[in-house]
A and B are shown apart, each in its own frame.
Chain A
Amino acid sequence: MLSRPHLRIAAFSTAVIASVAFSGSALAQKKYDTGATDTEIKIGNIMPYSGPASAYGVIGKTEEAYFKMVNDNGGIKGRKINFISYDDGYSPPKAVEQVRKLVESDEVLVVFNPLGTPSNTAIQKYLNSKKVPQLFVATGATKWNDPKNFPWTIGWQPSYQSEARIYAKYLLKEKPDGKVAILYQNDDFGKDYLKGLKDGLGAKASMIIAEESYETTEPTIDNHIVKLKSTGADVFLNIATPKFAAQAIKKVHEVDWKPLHIVTNVSASVGGVMKPAGLEASQGVLSAAYAKDGADPQWSSDADFKKWIAFVDKYMPGADKNDGSIVFGYGVAQTLVKTLEMCGDDLTRANVMKQAASLKDFTPDTLLPGVKINTSATDFAPISQLQMMRFKGEKWDLFGDIISGDLSN
């Protein structure tokens, strides 16, 4: 294989090569790993700014804006956050390349909130072998809570399984004699929910009388709904991504089936699911939430949420407040800042990981009142509480207590 040397040199010159020593220097009390100094903390991130999942790119932009706000207010104990975010286009090979660039070339302290189950799976082994924290990943898969095998990887949002267990708890309480019919998407997302539900129902898993799976390639899922209705079930679990969830809500209404109907948090968007399905068809549908809704007027007088509104107005002018990604990005960025504050002057990778696993009753501004972030050396699932909600009129009404998705409670 042959090449033009000068072309290669030109290409390499774009890669920034920093010269920071690898081991932490032994200054009095202050301890640093690569990526942290007296004046700066380098945070790495990968996001799909392009490609099929580029809608999530807003999360990265929100985080960047949040850290700008933190820096404007003096940084973390005088240290400014240097947020380096690269595009992985939702492609696992690109994710590996970009993360290696962050760790080996930019020399970041941690890789924070990388998005997507495939991308995170691709980089997990590498980051764990390099002992670089893979902090607060942006995916709902359950496998991130595995401190024994992957002590450098920690999740953030509630896992699909914990959410499903909350529905199971609700059903056991409200409809212990119910006959449950389930429609689920035939992939890791659908199967995670199914497992969570069965675990949650435990001995009463026999309540499930029908399971139907669908492929995302199917144009419509109408026939599944008709089939599920014919089983005589009076509870319907709609484990589908937004497009199919909307189709299901509509069809259930059309065939005049009136079960207790639950949709997942993934498909609880008013604009993306409930309105397209038809507001009339959506009345009374149940779901669960852990964060406040930017479009819901009830939070506009909430003291904590006012901070979020002020942040969006000042640092992201013109952004769409209905976009759940801004609420998400703000909450997770605030969790990182809290973790770094807890680290004090010991900014080593091991200590960052230790502090991330020592969050006690932490409440970012954007989480529902009562939902708290708790982690420990054996619990790497920061958020595991949600609150049930019912669709009424044109919005979700929260009801009942905050429920934990942990199996033990």
Chain B
Amino acid sequence: MSAYPTVKTIDEFKQQPAEYQDAVRKIVRSHALNELYGAQVFDEPAIQLAPTPYAKWLSCRVAMEEYHHHVRFKELADQIGVRPEEMDTKNKRPLNIFELPLESWEQFCVIKMLGDLAEILQVEDLLHCSFVPLRNIARTTMPEEKFHAQFGLDFCVDLVETDAGRDKVQRAVNGFYPEAPKFFGASGSKNNAIYRKYGIKLRSNEDMRADYMARAKSTVEPLGIRLPELKFDA
């Protein structure tokens, strides 16, 4: 737990050192953009790829939850002085993970299973954030993020019941997973050191990435799915 005192309000936030304020803005902006990109390029298009009305409507609801996450982070971003142009997906290049073209339902299920697992780790790291308004958003969105990852896992469990389905899931994992660990940022990151200095985040990028890779492995192995070898593997 951080020794940095909690920052309970926007007014208190404005009294913090500029380095603290900049650090919080970076994180809030990143989450707002990632939630928006995810909803736009994965969740909303998945409605058309889903095989049944059940899966389509569930995808629709998940898309709306992701849009709502974006709005929650964006509202906070507005309050703490993130400039509107920084929040526009037209001006900010997305993480590589969002440039993967969505082409199949199996791929979407894998993205929810493994991509939202990465988001869960990121949000978990904010649950004790020194900036209370950000901590509160993390606590609000966490149950939905967990549901989204479970949604992906549940559909993957159904898909791997056939050999053809397992092959499709494996191909989707092979295509998605190599980019996923980059979601946690560079090793030895100066930004991450600042986040931890101020108790905004708790864990290093390396620690979170290793945890993610272990959790991803334990998620897919019971399905008879293997993660591709990555350069991050020690």
Q: Do A and B come from one complex?
A: no
